[in-house]
Amino acid sequence: MQRQQIEQADAVFTRLVEAAPAQRLCRLALSAFREAADLFRRTLAVHPHLESGRANLGTA
């Protein structure tokens, strides 16, 4: 994979992660805590600096 392709793939993945908060929060609202926690952990693996992800993981 070329550097430009990697950067494009990273940008797409980042947009997907940023667009998915509703999915994670819906899992919390539905009391699907294990699923929500898994999604928050996946988010933090990619964006460890995301404070809201860390806070919500604590809630889940």
User: Which position has the token pair 């990619």?
Assistant: 46
Q: Where are the domains of the chain?
A: 3-59
3-state secondary structure the chain: CCHHHHHHHHHHHHHHHHHCHHHHHHHHHCCCHHHHHHHHHHHHHHCCCCHHHHHHHHHC
Is the CB of residue 60 less than 8 Å from the CB of residue 35?
no
pLDDT digit string (tens) for the chain, length 60 residues: 688 888 898 888 877 767 667 777 878 888 888 888 888 888 888 888 888 888 888 888
Give the model's pLDDT for residue 57: 84
